[in-house]
Amino acid sequence: MTPIVRRSLAWPAVVAALTLATLAGAGSAAALAVGGVGAVAVVAYHLWHLWRIAAWAAGPPDARVPDGYGVWGPLLTLIHRRVRARNVYEQDLRNVIARFEAAASAMPDGVVVLDAADRIEVANPRAQALLGLDAAHDRGQPIVNLVRQPGFLAYLEAGDFGDVALVPSGREPARMLALQLVPFAAGRKLLMARDVTEREAVARMRREFIANVSHELKTPLTVIAGFIETLQDLELDPAQRARFLGLMREQAHNMQRLVADLLTLSALESEDHPLVDEEVDVAALLRAAADEAKLLSRGQHAVDVDAGPAAIVHGSHDELASAYGNLVSNAIRYTPSGGRVALSWRIGPDGTGVLAVADTGIGIAAEYLPRLAERFYRVDRSRSRATGGTGLGLAIVKHVALRHGGELAIESERGRGSTFAIRLPASRVVPAASVTSSAAPRGTAA
Amino acid sequence: MTEHTNKQFDAEMEAIRSGVLSMGGVVEQQLMRATAALEKEDDAGLIDAVGADEIAINRLQVAIDQQCAQIIARRQPTAVDLRMILTVSKIVNDLERIGDEVKKIARKAVETYGSARLAQVRIYDAAKTLGTTMTMLRLALDAFARLDVVAAADVIDRDAAVDAAFASILRQLVSYMMEDPRTITPALEIVFIAKSIERIGDHAKNIAEAVVQVVKGKDVRHATADEIRAEIAQP
């Protein structure tokens, strides 16, 4: 017998003993009275506890377990302990769920839990934003009713969830979403949604770039391979031979230039290649560019140099020289012989330095200007290649200008000529003392 | 009816609802592609895709209509269920018409791009308005999925903006045509495009009205926006 059972029998035993004692001492009437009163007292004592427990059980869930007396005391203490243990356990579980929900909300990806019939059960805030769901109202809604992109539907029906479905966002068609289903317990699925717009754009650019590079490299190779075959198969006279070899050398040069430009671009773009801070003498830079221009022109163009105020530019000498050289060689190549190419340096009233090349060449129609500095963008493909362009020159110039905190400015009019200018921010331009400005070299050469 | 047939009936009703929405998804995709075709330079791939979408839409229309007819014949639905089926077949019709209009827009866009620079400027407005109708259609279909009358009323309100944009495109085109008769041909093409866009807005509005009707059991096709709001406010 447990102590509680023993104790519960104590009072009835006392009453029974008293009754028996009265019966022996005072007769049956008195014994009946004592036994009756005792029994009523015991029953009343139990009933009182019973009602209190009933009131507690029917009350609010967090109500205190009532205190008890006698045999009820330890019993109610036991119940109280159990209730408390259960409360602690429940609180733990609640914390686990809260942590899980907080983790789900903090996920950078959208997460939707789907039931066995692909209905929405739970969606984290990111999923609601990406997919236009409303977790409060959309519980139980088939996911395909709200995520209606045919691409997703096909993916869901195909049932191959190793892959992802790439679909445009319903709310902003320009954004691309990657949706992936992950099956888990009992036919349920997790729908993960990620915004992959940027990643897709980068991937597309890379694809286009590789396609372009391959094409640009293939063209000269085709020419060279063709001539090699001809030279192998045919007996040619020395004059023809020399001509073919000359053409081959030209194509090989083109390829070399292209590869050199690609290497320059990749160096400009790589992050472990910070901009060096040198003091670049603009006048010397201009002189060197003018010499190069005259060399390229072979006397066919008038080359003007307006060195402007003497100044020092903080930046990379090699990069600026190569960028400006690109602009100068473009000007020569796109200006018919007899034209004029003007190299100039100016410092604006706000301190910005402008390194410009103006030509009287063929010019560019306005609609082509915005895309001009894109890699491999050419207004006229055949002309560009015929004059030995790689299609990367302006991309390099733009990169160099951006690296120096400046920009590439283009003004052009069809048939009238163009002005390409590298604008450098005032912070990089240090004008020399005004004395030197008048002594700056100023020359014109034909 | 036994519980089993009830369940099956519910499943069939759910299937036609999801069917309409998946058809809506194809129309949304087609609209998206047509907008891209208007915004970019003519892209033959996009135009082909718009045409393929239109074929898929027509096929879905036939399939869903057939499902509706079968449910009516086999189950003789009443009250709410009958109303839902009638609404579904109305929405399917509107979706199919949107598909037709989108295809027209895509075709005209190709022709217009060939012609003039004027077109590109005006087409920009048209593409923007087409974007508005795309939002309307998305909201209308969402409202149907959720049977949300408030959202449906919002769609009905938006149609006014599309109508206003149509009127404004028309006014601008008229002034261009008066200035320079050479712009008349491309301007007329753009008028057709704008008209199609305006029709898409109307069809999206019809879908939203059908949602109000299926939920409230009241025909609001010729009601004003305020009347519709009053209707929705009633419990």
Phi, psi of A376 (to 5 degrees): 65, 10
Is the pLDDT at A75 greater than 60? The verdict is yes
Min Cα separation B77/chain A (Å) = 23
Is the pLDDT at A89 greater than 90? The verdict is yes
Helices and strands (H and E) in chain B: how many: 7, 0
Min Cα separation B221/chain A (Å) = 24
Tokens 């017998």 sit at which residue? A1
Reduce the DSSP state of residue B43 to 3 states and report it.
Answer: coil
Is the pLDDT at A59 greater than 80? The verdict is yes
Partners of A153 on chain B (C-beta within 8 Å) are 22, 25
Strands A302-306 and A340-347: parallel
Choosing among 2.40.30.10, 1.20.58.220, 3.40.50.300, 1.10.260.40, the CATH entry for B3-233 is: 1.20.58.220
Is the pLDDT at A443 greater than 60? The verdict is no
Min Cα separation B35/chain A (Å) = 10
A170: nearest CB among B14, B17, B28: B28
Partners of A170 on chain B (C-beta within 8 Å) are 28, 138
**A148·B21 Cβ contact <8 A:** yes
Could you give the CA distance from residue B235 to residue B225 in angstroms, rounded to a whole number? Answer: 18
Partners of B138 on chain A (C-beta within 8 Å) are 132, 170-171
B142: nearest CB among A132, A149, A173: A132
Min Cα separation B109/chain A (Å) = 19
Query: What's domain A278-445's architecture?
Result: 2-Layer Sandwich (3.30)
Model's pTM, two decimal places?
0.64
A148: nearest CB among B14, B28, B146: B28
Is the pLDDT at A1 greater than 70? The verdict is no
pLDDT digits (tens, 9 = 90+) for B91-145: 999 999 999 999 988 888 777 665 545 445 556 678 888 888 999 999 999 999 9
Q: Which fold has domain A201-269?
A: Helix Hairpins (1.10.287)
Could you give the CA distance from residue A444 to residue A436 in angstroms, rounded to a whole number? Answer: 19
Confidence of residue A270 (pLDDT cuts 50, 70, 90): confident
| In contact, A132 and B142? CB cutoff 8 Å | yes
Domains in chain B: boundaries = 3-233
Confidence of residue A434 (pLDDT cuts 50, 70, 90): very low
Nearest Cα residue in chain B from A117: B11
Q: How far is CA A285 from CA A157, A311, B78, B222, in A?
A: 65, 11, 88, 76
| In contact, A358 and A413? CB cutoff 8 Å | no
**Interface residues from chain A to B (CB-CB < 8 Å):** 132, 134, 137-138, 141-142, 144-146, 148-151, 153, 168, 170-171, 173
Percentage of the residues of chain B whose pLDDT score is greater than 90: 26
Domains in chain A: boundaries = 3-100, 107-195, 201-269, 278-445
HSE toward the beta carbon, residue A124, CA cutoff 13 A: 19
Could you give the CA distance from residue B20 to residue B89 in angstroms, rounded to a whole number? Answer: 9
A257 contacts: CB under 8 Å, gap ≥ 6: A388, A390
A107-195 carries CATH number 3.40.50.720: no
Is the pLDDT at A382 greater than 90? The verdict is no
Q: Name the region of A391 (left: φ>0; alpha: ψ -120 to 50; beta: rest).
A: left
Could you give the CA distance from residue B217 to residue B213 in angstroms, rounded to a whole number? Answer: 5
Reduce the DSSP state of residue B76 to 3 states and report it.
Answer: coil
